[in-house]
Structure 1
Amino acid sequence: MNELQHLARVRDEDLAGQASGAGARALLASILSEEPTAEPIAGPTAGPARRRTSRWRTSRWRARLAVGAVAAAGFAAAAVIAPAVLGPRGPASSYANSAIDIELRGDMYVATIKDPLADHEKYTEGFKAVGLNVNLEVVPVSPTQVGQLTGMRLSGRLAPNGQSISNGTTPEGCTLGSEGCAMTVEVARGWTGWASVQLGRAARPGEKYRNWRSAMKKGEMLEGYRADGKTVGEVMAEVRRRGLKAVFQIITPAPDNGGYGVDPKQQSAEVGDDWMVWEVQSEEAGVVRLMVTKERLPKNPVYGDTKITDE
């Protein structure tokens, strides 16, 4: 929404005759009542100076007259515009563009994602229009996180109602992918912080997921299978059995196995069937990523301990 739309509309014809208003007439009368300035003209002869109107002074007097008339008209125009600019109009309570629809419902701004494939600037534009500093990006994710907030960075305090940002659907509780069901992001009214948020959408064919999700979780490609702690040969047998493909990510354990790093220079190494698998992630539809080391380790470096798969 263009904020200038809130201004009173003033056309040239609306201002016709404004210079003859009370304020303008008073200013004009003040200017006209001031007599032309007389000043001595220096000459080669002695004696009392003759009083004569200076051409320069007269020109300046005429200029002041013109400026006064313009100023009077300007004051009249300001009297029309100023209340709209300075009045108590806060941010809009609703906004819509081709990508997002935002409206205030009670204590929450509800943003409905109309185009999940739109440029993220379209979403941010909408939040800005209602006075919220939210940078929203809708990204491709694995099936179990469609419609979920997959990443969030926040600054600032919670709103008076104790809330900040959450996700949902409209109509509430509908199944994403069904007719008329859309993803929503809810932001508390009165929240004055800054946020960078990622919301998951369904991936297009061949599009890599942008969430970090174990492929062994319920609803993912290796649901029900425990891959961590097994050899690459064992896990690949299950991968092929399920009609999937795999890529490898070689990780470098921290000295105490309490974490890991990834060295791009090592990724071209040939992974053997006797290498160890510590996690399997969903890469894209039909493809999983095995996180592996050449050595067998005393504990899982991805989690810093024995991996326990939930769900």
Structure 2
Amino acid sequence: MNDLRQLARVGDEDLAGQASGAGARTLLASIIAEEPVKEPRRPPWKRLAAAGVVTAALAAAVVLGPSILNTPGSATSYANAAMDIKLENGMWVARIKDPFADPARYEEAFHAVGLDVKLQLEPASPRQVGEIFQLGTGGDIGQSSSIAIDSDPKDCKITAPDCTMVLTLSQNASGAWIKAGRPAKADEPYANGNRATMDGGSLAGYTVGDKQVSEVAAEAERRGLKVVYQIVQPQPDGGYAMNPDDQSAAVGQDWWVWDAEDAQLGVVRLLVSEEHVIRK
């Protein structure tokens, strides 16, 4: 006879909340009345080993229970020092609490709610903070998915201390990787090139094309900007090529400016060539 199966006649409901209910008394009477089974004497360590197996099985059940209930994806919210993510009105809403955090902390938060999403925030000019530079997809993500960056409060400047960057994702966005702009520290070069002459740029409202270095550099300095250079090689089709390592030292004041980029906070990069090419 299987002794454990026989003892299982009394359920938890019979014992819950009472030390000596009817179920407990029945169990006690059954134990006392049952004739002991005569068996050859065995060394006590064998009985202890058997008891140890039962104890270990019960302990395993206690440990595994919560981990099975809290599988990845079962949560609808999660927060750590870097990000707070919640399911709101059918969309995942991630509030970036620390835009300078290790990307692994963002990934941790996404995984906690069942999303395989990678977020990388890189230094950007003020105009590009909160913009998505690159977006990749994989896994089950489809054309109908939605990924966007906004601010909280609405329409505040993300560079302001009391303004929070907010990333919203549809529930089928798992598999996405996102590269976006964050505020840059004072000594950080911007990760994504941004034309300095566009609205919000450091040379906004100023035209640099077909002007000599001396003239454009004077305007930049008037605006309190430091000037660095990138030498370009004119191409037959009117475009140009650049070698990132070919910069600065040999640039003369009579060279010609092709364009201007915001390089980092307070620094503008002029794209220049010695040859003057009239572009159509």
TM range (shorter): 0.7 to 0.9
Q: Is the Cα contact below 8 Å between 1:228 and 1:279 reproduced in 2?
A: yes
| Partner of residue 94 from structure 1, selected from 50, 68, 77 | 77
For 1:39-58, list aligned pairs within 5 A: none
The residue aligned with 1:110 is 93
Give the secondary-structure state (helix, strand or coil) at the position aligned to 2:117. strand
Per-residue CA deviation, residues 160-196 of structure 1 (Å, 9 max, x unaligned), is 8x22421011133334355642111122213221414
What TM-score does the superposition give when structure 2 sets the normalisation length?
0.74
Q: State how far apart, in whole Å, the 1-side matches of 2:105 and 2:61 are.
A: 36
The aligned counterpart of 2:165 is 183
Name 1:222's counterpart in structure 2.
203
SS at match of 2:137: strand
Distance 1:177 1:274, change over 3 A: closer
1:291 aligns to 2:274 (yes or no): no
Alignment of 1:1-311 (within 5 A): 22-23=4-5, 65-87=47-69, 89-91=71-73, 92-158=75-141, 162-178=144-160, 180-201=162-183, 203-253=184-234, 256=237, 258=239, 260-264=241-245, 266-267=246-247, 269-297=249-277, 299=279
The residue matched to 1:233 in structure 2 has which SS?
helix
Specify the code of the residue in structure 1 equivalent to 2:53: A
Structure 1 residues not aligned, in runs of 5+: 1-19, 27-31, 37-57, 300-305, 307-311
Q: Distance in 1 between matches of 2:240 and 2:46?
A: 78
Tell me the CA shift for residue 213 of structure 1: 0.4
TM-score normalized by structure 1? 0.67
271-280 or 70-79, larger mean C-alpha shift: 70-79
Q: Structure 2: 5+ residue runs without aligned partners?
A: 9-36
Q: Relative to structure 1, is the Cα distance of residues 84 and 123 closer, same or farther in structure 2, using a 3 angstrom cutoff? A: closer
Q: Which has the larger radius of gyration?
A: 1
Q: Is the 8 A contact 2:79 2:109 kept in 1?
A: yes
Cα drift, residue 227 of structure 1: 1.0
Please say if residues 230 and 248 of structure 2, whose CA atoms lie closer than 8 Å, have aligned partners that are also in contact: no
Q: Deviations over 1:191-248 (max 9, x none)?
A: 22141423322x3334332221000000111111121232223322322333322100
**Overall identity of the aligned pairs, in %:** 36
